Amino acid sequence: MDFPDSYLNALKGTANLSGRRQPPSFPPPPTSFPLPPHSPDISSLPESLVSDIPPILLKEILSRLPIRSLLRFQCVCKPWLKLISNPQFSILFQKGKIAIRGGKGLLYDLHLDFESDKVSMVGLHYPRRKKEIGGTEEVEMPQFEILGGYRFNGDKGIAVAACLKSKHWTNVYFPYKLKSGDSGLVVNERLHWVVKRDGDGMRSSTQLIVCFDPLVDEFVEFSTPLPYYGERNVILGLGILYGCLSVARYYYFERSYGPDDDPNPNIEVLIMKEYGVEESWTSLFVISHFVGLYKFYSYKPHIYGCLVPLGLTKSGKSLWQ
């Protein structure tokens, strides 16, 4: 009979692979070979078969593992390290990206395919070592396995939550306005953004901090630190200081004509001492007469402003971005 080429190729393919992969130092054991009693799973495995797992099937299996397991399994052997750390293994990306933060000192990039509108894969970045920057230690990211991100899709925002444990991606409608397509700040295994309500107009100054909990795919709102004495404030950026969610805010007094006319802008940095407790916002310091920002942001810090507290030096000096 005539077999089609696909069948013959399939036969040939596996035959070649197994021939090449047969390790010379591993002769098949005799059938009566006594198997280690402590490992029942393994004892049921015919040795010749396991060493026959072709690389493509190994990939098939490994690509279903959570990141944490993958990082550990790099220690299995050098070929596994090579496979797992190969960017091709984890990434199908060229079109777009969102930065995703996670893991202890890990930074992931979430890559998007804008044409198919699908989240495709996770880029794997290896742990960043702590660096000494001018006597300041780089802020370490919190450890967690649930990651998320955000991007604009036309007028609507979509938050993308990724559970790296299951490699399962979900798109979640992002019901707020965000001033920039930032990927969210990770604190306490959740993502945080400074937003305005979807229904509010462009000039509205009501800001919220929303937190997205990827475990339940839900948004929780935090109020921003309350203004003093009725002055209004603008949240410029979120950061992590002392392991707490922190904000940099710009504030000015109602009696002036607004931020455009304020000759004395003040910048204050606060931390939320107890996560999720709005009463625990605590002021760290204030920078008054912050004229640099005033000029830089074309006098409209409430629209363009972005100031992120990055870290504090040991002597209490701050590092900005």
**Residue range at the interface with another protein (CB under 8 A); choices 50-58, 148-156, 244-252, 292-300:** 50-58
Q: For strand 266-272 and strand 244-252, is the pairing parallel, antiparallel, or unpaired?
A: antiparallel
Tell me how many degrees the CA angle 316-317-321 measures, rounded to the nearest 5: 130
**Residue range at the interface with another protein (CB under 8 A); choices 68-76, 230-238, 281-289, 292-300:** 68-76
Interacting positions 220-249 with another protein (CB under 8 A): none
Q: Is 2 in the site for another protein (CB under 8 A)?
A: yes
97, containing H or E segment: strand 96-102
Is 291 in a helix, a strand, or coil? helix
Secondary structure of 185-243 in HEC code, one letter for each residue: EEECCEEEEEEEECCCCCCCCCEEEEEEECCCCEEEEEECCCCCCCCEEEEEEEEEECC
Interface pick for another protein out of 83, 90, 98, 103 (rule CB under 8 A) = 103
Interface pick for another protein out of 22, 26, 35, 228 (rule CB under 8 A) = 26
Interface pick for another protein out of 22, 143, 223, 256 (rule CB under 8 A) = 143
Rg of the chain (C-alpha set): 27
Interface pick for another protein out of 24, 34, 37, 75 (rule CB under 8 A) = 75
Q: Are 307 and 293 in contact (CB under 8 A)?
A: yes
Q: Is 66 in the site for another protein (CB under 8 A)?
A: yes
Interface pick for another protein out of 20, 24, 30, 78 (rule CB under 8 A) = 78
Q: Is 309 in the site for another protein (CB under 8 A)?
A: no
Rounded to 5 degrees, what are φ and ψ at 304?
A: -105, -10
Q: Are 225 and 233 in contact (CB under 8 A)?
A: yes
Q: Is 32 in the site for another protein (CB under 8 A)?
A: no
Q: Tokens for 285?
A: 């310091």
* Beta carbon nearer to another protein, 31 or 94: 31
* Beta carbon nearer to another protein, 11 or 303: 11
Give the nearest distance from C-beta 60 to another protein in angstroms.
5
Exposure class string for 196-212: b at 16+ Cβ within 10 A, else e: beeeeeeeeeebbbbbb
Site string for another protein, 121-140 (x = CB under 8 A): -----xx-------------
* Beta carbon nearer to another protein, 60 or 198: 60
**Closest by CA position to 157, among listed 188, 207, 196, 185:** 196
Q: Is 35 in the site for another protein (CB under 8 A)?
A: no
Whose tokens are 């306005």? That residue is 177
Q: Is 22 in the site for another protein (CB under 8 A)?
A: no
Residue type for position 66: P
Site string for another protein, 155-184 (x = CB under 8 A): ------------------------------
Binding interface with another protein (CB under 8 A): 1-4, 6-7, 10-11, 14, 23, 25-26, 39, 41-42, 44-47, 49-54, 56-58, 60-62, 64-69, 71-81, 103-106, 126-127, 143
